[in-house]
Structure 1
Amino acid sequence: MPTNDEFQVYREALAAELQPAMGCTEPIALAYAAAEVGKRLGGYPEAIDVEVSRNIVKNVKSVIVPNTGGLSGIEAAVAAGLVCRRPEARLQVLADVSDTERAEIRERAELPMTVRQSHEPDVFFIKVTGSLGGKTAAVTIRTYHTNITRIEENGVTVLSKDDVCADAQADGEAWSIPELIKAARVMPLMEAETLLNRQIDCNSAIAAEGLKDNWGATIGKILLARKPEDPATQARAWAAAGSDARMNGCELPVIIVSGSGNQGITASVPVLIFARALKIDRETTLRAVLLSDLVTIALKQGIGKLSAYCGAVSAGCGSGAGIGFLEGLTDKEILGVIRNALAITSGILCDGAKSSCAAKISMAVEGALLALDMVKNHQTFKAGDGIVQSTTDSTARAVGRIASRGMVSTDREIIEIPRGNPRLQTREESRPSFLSSV
């Protein structure tokens, strides 16, 4: 029997990754940095400078910031954090906003602030600087959403922690996916159980909300109308509905994976739907979600938190592995599901956070279910079929290389394409911005 120490790295990863967040995590990271600035200044700044990487722009421009009365964009996220000034809440920094604060956010978001492109090498980079009454404060976040690496007050560094670029690369150290499957079967659930239960409860709740009201493009509702009693349709619909709500300002929390609420939903909700349909016991259900989370994290290790590669693909692969686990597939068969799914859906682009993320989640789950059906019919893609390699691990590394290196120029092109939201275009054109030169 394996010892607990063998699984310590997984337990630590789950504790770090399965965090609650309200709202899309990139604007919330901006609000978090701004909240720290506002708290240190003791009020709303007279002057504000925001420096961000291209990927932050892509994932903030079109998504609604919760508790702002429907506002979207960088200015709204920063203004919300500066008004609320509760950085101790981290990615739930906008969870408890009063009516007075909400009204102030709407007013402040229309005031001028400087927004400019970062020249740092990080894919994920945020720096918010404010000044008030002769005092200045600046907060830098790198690599992932809560990673404050530098705080400055009046030009003096008061906190510095690994303030260098540390984005993941495809050739970096990665977990062995076969070992993850073994861990999911035998790893003690003591510490993970609370995290997994919270993930199931929170993400199921926002999915139910997405199906209840008309959030976004209502992808979940549209899907569910096809075959409301079919577990495969339910899996796609419920996962999509969670994103419908989340991308459009729903004020319910989500448990994230790999820095993403959409990935947290995709990794958990489809597995839960199948567990209920198959009448699976609670422990096996938890182990299936555990496997899905671990596979999602592993596939993202070579990609990094942000990329032009849609993160729902990784989480869809995870959910396919988790559903295969529920259905009693062998380790080898589960590996085949993951490899098949990577071959099917790895072409989905990330063009930022917005309503269509729900549709991409649906397609990622569908790809995983097709991959699962292939395996159950004794079919797997072979090495040499496009990006497919001889093992699941080497296929994952190939995808990581494509996403972290090959798609850098894709990101630039995506950001240069004009946004289709007339309100956002008008708003951005009305004030100086670096976006046209990104």
Structure 2
Amino acid sequence: MEHNSSIYREYLRILEQELVPAFGCTEPIAIAYAAALAAQTLGERPDRLLVEASGNIIKNVKSVIVPNTGGMKGIQAAAAAGVVSGRPEDKLELLEGLTEEQRGEIRDYLQTADIRIQKAGGCRTFDLTVTVWAGNREARVRIADSHTNVVLVEKNGEILRTAGTDEEGSQAEAKSSLSMEGIVDFALTARLDDVKQVLDRQIEYNMAIAEEGMKHAYGANVGKVLLAAYGDDVKIRARAKAAAGSDARMNGCELPVVINSGSGNQGITVSVPVIEYARELGAGEEQLYRALLISNLTAIHLKEGIGRLSAYCGAVSAGTGAGAGIAYLLGGGYEEIIHTVVNTLANVSGIVCDGAKASCAAKIASAVDAGILGYYMYRNGQEFVDGDGIVKKGVESTIANVARLGRDGMRDTDREILDIMIG
């Protein structure tokens, strides 16, 4: 790919926009961010809050710990933490600097403030509005489609900002140019200096939380169970460390991660198994970077048609990306990579998302396992072909079918999951 071409610059922009740090599960952090921005707009600490959130946001906030709050869970805790933090400029990292004194303030604030929750209307899977009041003064912030895409800021009925979609519009336009052929071309020809900073940060952050998850007890300890049951072969270790990172993140570990497609779990899944394989194989820095480019961009490509939030588990897209990156590290070229993608999607595309919680780690382990199996199937002359269920001839046709399944076919599933979870 020509380095001065528009598509090369678009691919770089996708990486810069998607691979960003986040402190804690991104849905509660989005609520905290909206609440912090609303309180800042109001100009004083509110005594009442209304959080209107789409079902997928409610689903993903219900069971995870809000980071740096001393173990608090839920939408009210996330909103209160955002108000107390007072740092909306830090976006998805705004809770990282909370002090012990502020944690006490959050607990007190939850006792005194009236914080109400309401399911948002409309059909957007990611829709969040936080309205705050102090006396008869009011401010409102709305975020739509992705975690930091502010589309409305309002104070006392006066609109201060609307349709903050310039960045998101550019992002959507850039992502529409993604294809497996373009991804592999970009990954194999990219100047390493152009991607080094963003990938180094991903390696540092995501391996740190994976190692933390392996050292200590978090959640269901899926990583430790895998190693104890199956040994420390790299195929197991790759799954175990990714699962451990998720277990830590879902259960209160106060370390940041670099996300992918708006998700920290997906960010861990696309990176940790690839890094673990690179270390096992003695791969050089260049090989690792190029493998991570394939993994990250494949996952983003798969998610763009599905949407940020869905009943379709995002670990599947990320595990598919990891399989593609591992295929490259094991000597695979374009054909091996795309057949790994198809074989993986044919296997585990039925995994549902029932919110962010401890079982995400087990789903990650399954998705990464499917990605690795997908590569070894093709290497041994086996593959799923056109007509095998949702598989169609051509990798992009299969990806389009998966997008349709996750975006359209699982809407009713999404509603049923939410009804089951919240009664």
Normalised-by-shorter TM-score class: over 0.9
- 1:238 equivalent among 223, 237, 241: 241
Matched-pair contact (CA < 8 Å) for 1:137–1:152: yes
2:258 is matched with: 255
Counterparts in 2 of 1:225-374, with a 5 A limit? 225-374=228-377
Unaligned stretches of 5+ residues in structure 2? none
Deviation at 1:222, TM superposition (A): 1.0
Q: Distance in 2 between matches of 1:335 and 1:163?
A: 33
Deviations 1:26-71 (A, max 9, x none): 0000000001112222332111111110101100001110111111
- Map of 2:72 onto structure 1: 71
For residues 396 and 306 of structure 2, the distance between their equivalents in structure 1, rounded to whole angstroms, comes to: 14
Q: Distance in 1 between matches of 2:84 and 2:164?
A: 28
Deviations 1:167-195 (A, max 9, x none): x99xx946211221121111222221110
Q: Please give the alpha-carbon distance, in whole angstroms, between the structure 1 residues aligned to 2:209 and 2:68.
A: 16
Q: Which amino acid is the alignment partner of residue 68 of structure 1? A: T
8 Å CA contact 1:142–1:163 kept in 2: the answer is: no
**CA distance in structure 2 between the aligned counterparts of 1:149 and 1:41, rounded to whole angstroms:** 17
Structure 2: how far apart are the matches of 1:30 and 1:280?
A: 40
Q: Which position in structure 1 is the counterpart of 2:122?
A: 120
Q: How many correspondences in the alignment?
A: 417
Match of 2:3 in 1: 3
Q: Which has the higher helix share?
A: 2
| Pick aligned residue for 1:159 from 158, 161, 177 | 161
Q: Any conservation in 2 of the 1:211–1:238 contact (CA below 8 Å)?
A: yes
Aligned-partner Cα distance in 2 for 1:246–1:364: 18
In structure 2, C-alpha distance between the alignment counterparts of 1:163 and 1:232, rounded to whole Å: 41
The CA distance in 2 between the partners of 1:236 and 1:266, in whole Å, is: 9
For residue 138 of structure 1, the aligned residue among 116, 119, 140 is 140
Partner-residue secondary structure (3-state), 2:362: helix
Q: Distance in 2 between matches of 1:174 and 1:136?
A: 42
- 1:80-121 C-alpha deviation (Å, 9 max, x unpaired): 001111001100010000111101112323443221111132
Superposed, 1:66-105 pairs within 5 Å as 66-105=67-106
8 Å CA contact 2:183–2:297 kept in 1: the answer is yes
Q: Is the 8 A contact 1:174 1:298 kept in 2?
A: no
- Aligned 8 A contact 1:4 1:187 in 2: no
Q: Once the two structures are superposed, what CA deviation does each residue of 1:161-219 show, in whole Å capped at 9, x if it has no partner?
A: 257999x99xx946211221121111222221110010011000000011111011111
Instruction: Give the alignment's TM-score, normalised by structure 1.
Output: 0.92
Question: Which residue, out of 401, 409, 412, partners 1:409?
Answer: 412
Which residue identity is paired with 1:284?
Q
Is the CA contact 1:138–1:152 (under 8 Å) kept in the aligned structure 2?
yes
Give the conservation status (yes or no) of the 8 Å contact 2:224–2:240. yes
Q: Which whole-Å CA distance do the structure 2 matches of 1:359 and 1:4 have between them?
A: 42
1:185 to 178, 188, 193: 188
CA distance in 2: counterparts of 1:14 and 1:400, whole angstroms: 21
Q: For 1:123 and 1:163, how far apart are their aligned partners in 2?
A: 17
Q: Secondary structure at the match of 1:352?
A: coil
Task: State the SS of the aligned residue for 1:113.
Answer: strand
How many Å separate the matches in 1 of 2:37 and 2:179? Answer: 38
- What secondary structure sits across from 1:129 in the alignment? strand
AA paired with 2:235?
A
Alignment pair present for 1:378 and 2:395: no
In 2: Cα distance, 1:250 partner to 1:258 partner: 21
SS in 1 for 2:114: coil
CA contact (8 A) 1:174 1:301 kept: no
Moved more, 120-129 or 89-98: 120-129
1:227 shift after superposition: 4.1
Query: Normalising to structure 2: TM-score of the pair?
Result: 0.95
Instruction: Kindly state the Cα deviation for residue 229 of structure 1 after the two structures are TM-superposed.
Output: 3.0
Matching residue's letter, 2:337: I
Tell me the SS of whatever aligns to 2:405: helix
Give me the CA root mean square deviation. 1.8
Q: 37-46 or 334-343, which moves further after superposition?
A: 37-46
In 1, distance between residues paired with 2:262 and 2:399?
A: 19
Q: Matches of 1:317 and 1:388 in 2, distance apart? A: 15
Alpha-carbon separation, structure 2, partners of 1:94 and 1:206: 17
- Taking a change above 3 Å as real, the CA distance of residues 273 and 163 of structure 1, as seen in their structure-2 partners, is closer
Q: Counterpart of 1:96 in structure 2: which amino acid?
A: G
Q: Which moves more between the two structures, 185-194 or 224-233?
A: 224-233
Letter in 2 for 1:212: K
Deviations 1:333-373 (A, max 9, x none): 11100000000110100000000000000000001111111
Q: 1 CA distance for matches of 2:286 and 2:231?
A: 27
